[in-house]
Amino acid sequence: MSLRSRALVWAPLLGVLTIVVSATAAGLYDYSDDELSGPEQPIEFSHRVHATDLGIECLYCHTSADKSQTASVPAVSVCMGCHQWVKEGSSPGSAEEIAKLHGYVERSESIPWIRVHSVPDHVRFKHEPHVLGGITCQRCHGPVEAMNRVWLVPDTVHNPSAAFLPAAKLEMGWCVDCHQQENGPLECITCHY
């Protein structure tokens, strides 16, 4: 095989390999296939790093979960409580993501996080009684503390035996089962008012 023939064979393969290596290197974390199904957020934020590796409690960032209807997305100022000092994390590429956070602060902008967990508009859910009642965040949201990117099971259907689904879809039958197990209120007006 001539040198030119070899070049014609290897050039496309090297191009594909370069693209694959570049795409892999560009990601801050090694995402599982499930995590890749979650939305790409404006900042690559890992709950695993913050909650598991660093041991930060959910309520440290989601400060209103135990006293209001919503758990709330943390304000940029909450992130800056640490990241005014921490400019680089343990993962290669983390400095760039933390710099994005600083950019939002400098522009006085909120981070436009993409919501993952939600209930339909006709449902009224309050975090407060659940948190104060000892229901763990993981019971509804799945093992978020182990996720680099939060994801949602796309087509969860009511399945009473499927307790602790990872990032379970919040469906009525699933909620009712939990209320029955935990002796929660079963009146329609509890969630539909």
Whether residue 128 sits in one domain with residue 56: yes
What's the pLDDT tens digit per position in 96-126?
999 999 999 999 999 999 888 888 888 888 8
Whether residue 139 sits in one domain with residue 125: yes
Q: How confident is the model at residue 53 (pLDDT cuts 50, 70, 90)?
A: very high
Whether residue 102 sits in one domain with residue 13: no
Task: Tell me how far apart the alpha carbons of residues 101 and 42 are, in angstroms, rounded to a whole number.
Answer: 9
pLDDT cut 70: percent of the chain above it: 77
The one-letter amino acid code at 188 reads: C
Judge contact between 174 and 106, C-beta under 8 A.
no
Whether residue 180 sits in one domain with residue 160: yes
Whether residue 54 sits in one domain with residue 144: yes
Range of the domain at 65: 31-73+116-193
Q: State the average pLDDT over residues 176-188.
A: 92
Instruction: Indicate whether 163 pLDDT > 70.
Output: no
Whether residue 125 sits in one domain with residue 106: no
Quote the tokens at residue 78: 């909450």
Distance of CA 164 to the CA centre of its chain: 16
pLDDT at 50: 94
Whether residue 132 sits in one domain with residue 65: yes
Whether residue 187 sits in one domain with residue 123: yes
The one-letter amino acid code at 25 reads: A
Task: Tell me how far apart the alpha carbons of residues 192 and 37 are, in angstroms, rounded to a whole number.
Answer: 30
User: How many folded domains does the chain comprise?
Assistant: 3
Whether residue 187 sits in one domain with residue 122: yes
What's the pLDDT tens digit per position in 2-16?
544 544 444 444 443
Short-list 49, 21, 22, CA closest to 150: 49
Task: Tell me how far apart the alpha carbons of residues 98 and 84 are, in angstroms, rounded to a whole number.
Answer: 9
Question: To 5 degrees, how large is the angle CA 86–CA 88–CA 94?
Answer: 130
pTM of the model: 0.73
What is the average pLDDT value for the chain, to the nearest integer? 80
Q: How confident is the model at residue 20 (pLDDT cuts 50, 70, 90)?
A: very low
Last residue of a domain, one of 61, 95, 112: 112
Whether residue 43 sits in one domain with residue 60: yes
Task: Tell me how far apart the alpha carbons of residues 63 and 75 are, in angstroms, rounded to a whole number.
Answer: 10
